[in-house]
Structure 1
Amino acid sequence: MTNYPVEMFKYHIWANQTILGRIKQLPPSVLSQEVNSSFPTIAHALSHIYAVDKMWYLVLTGTGMPEALQMCMPLNGSILASVDEYVNSFAELAGQFEEWLESQSDLEQTLLLDNPYAGIRQTRLSEIVLHVVIHGTYHRGNISTMLRQLGHASTMNDYAFFWYREPVERFL
């Protein structure tokens, strides 16, 4: 039986790698070119995705949300110098998430989430994982728009394309 939160997180990793791979094909300056969009630069958007992913990872591994937010706020404004640095940062965090996911026997268990912006609620671990995926998808869309505004094509990173990432031979 497929564990859909885990499968969706695999999609999140793939989609991040896909968009970063596209950005890596472009001139290095594309990372820091200013654009009139949700973020001033693509680097800012990538830093935001990373910071939020890291914050939720900390929450999932036992850090209170107020503390996790405090720890990750500086990451949101921390602009890395190259696409390779983003690739490495995302890959390292993805590995940590994967280890955590492998160690979980029940993603439907809850934790008491103390969200400083929204209040306290019981939240399933699976809901948090899915939120990480949805948040990343939303901002990868921003990045695709930013690339187009800068005169570059983006790349397809929809979930439906993730389905086809494996060689067809596997299914024959």
Structure 2
Amino acid sequence: MKTIHNMFEHLSWANQSILEALQNVEVGEQQLSLFSHILNAEQVWLTRLKGKDSSQLPIWSDGDITVCTKLIKQNEENFKTYLAEIAKTDLDNLITYANSSGKEFMTSIRDILTHVALHGQYHRGQINLRLRADGNDPVNIDYITFVR
């Protein structure tokens, strides 16, 4: 659990770092779309982890920095609560859920949590690429920077 907690602390830090960068530059539509996708996906996965239907939640939506700001805080609080609740749960327990196409899967809690942490990092890298292409400095969101 310690590693998973660290990964989610990094996720929150990295999301906040990207948010601050996007608040200080002229943001392109692609950057906001990617950022809102990260945050929407976090909500979708948390909903699935709780055994609820996520089919009505957006995966992609129009980017809005104000909405992103709210989602960061909400997701961080909700994942902290969830991680505290499952502290004594077997992380290899399987969760049954349907993806956005309605196809059903069974995946372990551990693998879902690992996916959520890594998924955001992938898209934050895409945001950084677009920031650089627009003449802005990319945000150092490397895990080692976080732990230092």
Report the TM-score when normalising by structure 2.
Answer: 0.87
CA gap 1:140/1:116 in 2 versus in 1, 3 angstroms: closer
Alignment of 1:127-138 (within 5 A): 127-138=111-122
* Distance in structure 1 (CA, Å) of the matches to 2:74 and 2:100: 27
**1:29-49 CA distance string (max 9 Å, x none):** x22x3xxxxxx5211111111
1:100 maps to 2:82? yes
* Distance in structure 2 (CA, Å) of the matches to 1:114 and 1:130: 18
CA gap 1:5/1:140 in 2 versus in 1, 3 angstroms: same
Instruction: Give the aligned partner of residue 36 of structure 1.
Output: none
Instruction: Give the aligned partner of residue 52 of structure 1.
Output: 41
State the AA in 1 paired with 2:57. Answer: C
State the AA in 1 paired with 2:108. Answer: R
1:41 maps to 2:30? yes
Alignment of 1:11-160 (within 5 A): 11-26=10-25, 30-31=26-27, 33=28, 40-63=29-52, 67-68=53-54, 70-73=55-58, 76-80=60-64, 82=65, 84-104=66-86, 105-106=88-89, 107-115=91-99, 120-160=104-144
Counterpart secondary structure, 1:151: coil
Counterpart secondary structure, 2:57: helix
Counterpart secondary structure, 1:71: coil
Percent identical among aligned pairs is 24
Q: Please list every run of 5 or more consecutive structure 1 residues that lacks an aligned counterpart in the other structure.
A: 34-39, 165-172
Q: Please list every run of 5 or more consecutive structure 2 residues that lacks an aligned counterpart in the other structure.
A: none
Note the C-alpha offset of 1:118: 9.6
2:34 and 2:127 in contact (8 A); partners too: yes
* Distance in structure 2 (CA, Å) of the matches to 1:77 and 1:119: 21
**1:105-132 CA distance string (max 9 Å, x none):** 2223222344466954432111111101
Indicate the RMSD between aligned Cα atoms, in angstroms.
2.0
* Distance in structure 1 (CA, Å) of the matches to 2:147 and 2:102: 34
Counterpart secondary structure, 1:47: helix
Aligned length: 146
* Distance in structure 2 (CA, Å) of the matches to 1:111 and 1:6: 19
